[in-house]
């Protein structure tokens, strides 16, 4: 697959076929992803592949925490505390497109909640991953992690798989660390769902808009 084509056609897939993905396929993806750049070759990435039983346990535990009113306690702040333009409008448009694809109205809170809760079970994907990093590392290493994650998303496309990076799975990091026996001195960055896309599913039909190059680029001489 052409690299530019892989980048432009990548999307966050939220419905997967039950077709199994072999351990060898996952290794093939990670063999490519490990060549991501990192400052002074620190290679700060850690990744835990989650088995089917533990995927269900994680999802059930997080949903139970939410239903019980347990507050989220992520290891880092993903979104701003206050939304301002243009980000506020982009966020609203993204949510509207997603729930419109599912034919769920703004007023139907129960269906919206059920759709959101699928996050915590990796959207039913055959492969679930948790990306984590040592807390003692600096902000630069988090940039490296972003490049590593993007490599996973693109390498997956190279072997016929699709993915969805999931910040939602970092909302309750203590649950993740305890369930997967991840060291307490590691921050949970995100989850990744991976598998064969179910392109017939309505949730996989919508696309978010992207800003043109001139809107975010400055040229100097």
Interval 98-107 mean pLDDT? 91
Average pLDDT over residues 144-154: 98
CA distance 53 to 140: 34
Q: What is the pTM of this model?
A: 0.96
Task: List pLDDT tens digits, range 22-55.
Answer: 999 999 999 999 999 999 999 999 999 999 999 9
Range 13-78+119-208: architecture per CATH: 3-Layer(aba) Sandwich (3.40)
Q: What is the mean pLDDT of residues 150-177?
A: 98
Which residues make Cβ contacts (< 8 Å) with residue 56, sequence separation at least 6? 121
Instruction: Determine the 3-state secondary structure of 50 from DSSP.
Output: strand
| pLDDT per residue as tens digits for the range 65-101 | 999 999 999 999 999 999 999 999 999 999 999 999 9
Q: Say which residues have a Cβ less than 8 Å from residue 21's Cβ, sequence separation at least 6.
A: 126, 127, 161, 194, 195, 196
For the cut 90, the answer to whether the pLDDT of residue 135 exceeds it is yes
Give the pLDDT confidence score for residue 176 in this predicted structure: 98
**So what's the pLDDT on residue 1?**
82
**Directed axis angle between helix 23-33 and helix 139-158, to 10°?**
130
Is a pLDDT exceeding 90 seen at residue 106? no
pLDDT band for position 125 (50/70/90)? very high
Nearest to 127 by CA among 191, 32, 34, 63: 191
* pLDDT reading at 126 higher than 90: yes
The whole-number pLDDT of residue 185 equals 98
pLDDT at residue 215 is higher than 90 = yes
What is the domain partition of the chain in residue ranges?
A: 13-78+119-208
């Amino acid at each position: 697959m052409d690299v530019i084509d892989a980048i432009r056609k990548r999307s966050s897939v939220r419905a997967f076929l039950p077709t199994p993905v072999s351990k060898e396929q996952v290794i093939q993806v990670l063999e490519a992803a490990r060549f991501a750049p990192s400052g002074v070759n620190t290679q700060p990435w850690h990744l835990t592949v989650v088995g089917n039983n533990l995927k269900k346990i994680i999802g059930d535990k997080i949903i139970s925490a939410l239903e019980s009113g347990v507050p989220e306690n992520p290891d880092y702040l993903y979104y701003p505390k206050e939304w301002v333009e243009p980000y506020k409008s982009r966020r609203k448009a993204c949510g509207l497109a997603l729930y419109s694809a599912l034919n769920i109205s703004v007023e139907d809170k129960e269906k919206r909640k059920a759709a959101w809760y699928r996050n915590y079970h990796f959207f039913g994907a055959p492969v679930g991953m948790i990306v984590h990093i040592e807390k003692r590392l600096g902000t630069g290493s988090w940039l490296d992690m972003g490049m590593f994650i993007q490599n996973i998303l693109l390498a997956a496309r190279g072997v016929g798989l699709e993915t969805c990076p999931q910040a939602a799975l970092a909302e309750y990091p203590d649950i993740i660390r305890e369930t997967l026996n991840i060291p307490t001195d590691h921050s949970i960055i995100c989850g990744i769902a991976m598998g064969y896309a179910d392109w017939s599913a309505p949730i996989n039909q919508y696309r978010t808009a992207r800003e043109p190059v001139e809107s975010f680029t400055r040229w100097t001489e």
